[in-house]
Amino acid sequence: MPEAKRRRLDSAVEQNTMEPVSAPSPFLPTFESFRNELDEHHDRRERIVKASHDITALSKKIVRALQAPLPAAVAKEIEPRTKTINELFTNVAPDLRGIDAWRYQRQISGGIQEFIEAISFRHYLQTQRLITMDEAQAEIPGGVELTADDYLLGLFDLVGELMRFAVTNMATTGALPRGSPEEVDGGGQGRDILTDLRYIRTHFEALDTSSSGVPGSFSGLKKDAGKKMGVMKTCVEKVEKAVYEMIVRGRERPKGWMPGGTEDRAGIPREVVESF
């Protein structure tokens, strides 16, 4: 009995060794092509994500520098950061050509929005105007496309910086920032910053995002506008409250007192003002 079983096993082994090796699958080259395409996709995606993060970080530093009171020092500080951001946009631009501009929109969107916040803040401080979409597009090198969604969401974030700028100035100078009277005839400047904030709020409140984006696609405006709308309104209300308290009680307070506080405080740290 064991011998018969052994003979059957030997016969099966011999039969297997005599069978020819099967030819490679004709589908193998196709799947190798898919693999290479996926590898290229992930590499490109990582480059775009890294560029977006770097642009975001540098833009935040520019915004913080623009809050400083010394224009010469500010210009010196933001110039190298702006140059680095331009290089990042230029380097990542080839990965955002054609259909890839939409394929990787989610990955680059955050960096573009932060950059719009920075350049729109700088533009406002210099001209007391909102930067237009065409002007903002001209600031982005390499042919990287600026979408209407990223432009508007960047302006939403601008309101927060204008609020900090207004409160900081009221705390340190006792006055609400306003444009120079000499500029009134040159384009409608000379207004105070609260008037501008209310103007921005009114137009954002009229913004209809119900039809924004294509169903099933990424639409930053439709996704984020509701949340940013609430933050924007809160920022404007903080400036309104600060101006009210400055007018009603400001003359009784020492220089350096922060509007909205519960006690008289002089020499307020910057982080306290920014958290207001």
pLDDT in tens, 96-144: 999 998 899 889 999 999 999 999 999 998 888 999 999 999 999 988 9
CA-wise closest residue to 163 among 214, 198, 207, 213? 198
Report if pTM > 0.85.
Answer: no
DSSP for 106-154 reads: HHHHHHHHHHHHHHHHHHHHHHSSPPPHHHHHHHS-TTPPPPHHHHHHH
pLDDT reading at 2 higher than 70: no
pLDDT tens for residues 159-213? 999 999 999 988 888 888 887 665 544 444 568 999 999 999 999 999 887 766 5
Contacting residues for 12 by C-beta, under 8 A, at least 6 apart: none
**CA distances (Å), 5 to each of 8, 11, 43, 250, in order?**
5, 10, 57, 105
Q: Which residues pair with 105 in a beta bridge?
A: none
pLDDT of 276 higher than 60 = no
Which stretch, 101-105, 128-132, 214-218, 268-272, has highest mean pLDDT? 128-132
Question: Exposed e or buried b for every residue in 149-177, given b needs 16+ CB within 10 A?
Answer: bbbbbbbbbbbbbbbbbbbbbbbbebebb
What's the pLDDT score for residue 240?
Answer: 95
Instruction: Indicate whether 155 pLDDT > 80.
Output: yes
Q: Three-class SS of residue 246?
A: helix
14 — pLDDT class (breaks 50, 70, 90): low
Find where tokens 């699958």 sit: 25
> Residue 12 — very low, low, confident or very high, per pLDDT cuts 50/70/90?
low
Does the pLDDT value for residue 251 go beyond 60?
no
Tokens linked to 115: 């950059």
CATH fold label, 42-146:
Methane Monooxygenase Hydroxylase; Chain G, domain 1 (1.20.58)
Q: Which amino acid is at 203?
A: H
* Sequence-separated (6 or more) residues with CB below 8 Å from residue 236: 159, 163, 197, 198, 200, 201
pLDDT digits (tens, 9 = 90+) for 15-65: 555 555 566 777 777 777 777 888 888 888 899 999 999 999 988 888 888
What is the distance, to the nearest Å, from the Cα of residue 4 to the centroid of all Cα atoms in its chain? 78
Counting DSSP H helices and E strands in the chain, the numbers are 10, 0
236 pLDDT above the threshold of 90: yes
Q: Taking 90 as the threshold, does the pLDDT of residue 230 lie above it? A: yes
- Break the chain into its structural domains and give their ranges: 42-146, 147-210+219-276
Q: Residue 257: pLDDT band by 50, 70, 90 thresholds? A: low
Nearest-5° angle of CA 256, CA 261, CA 266? 25
End-to-end CA distance of the chain: 93
Q: Crossing angle of helices 28-66/71-92, nearest 10°? A: 170
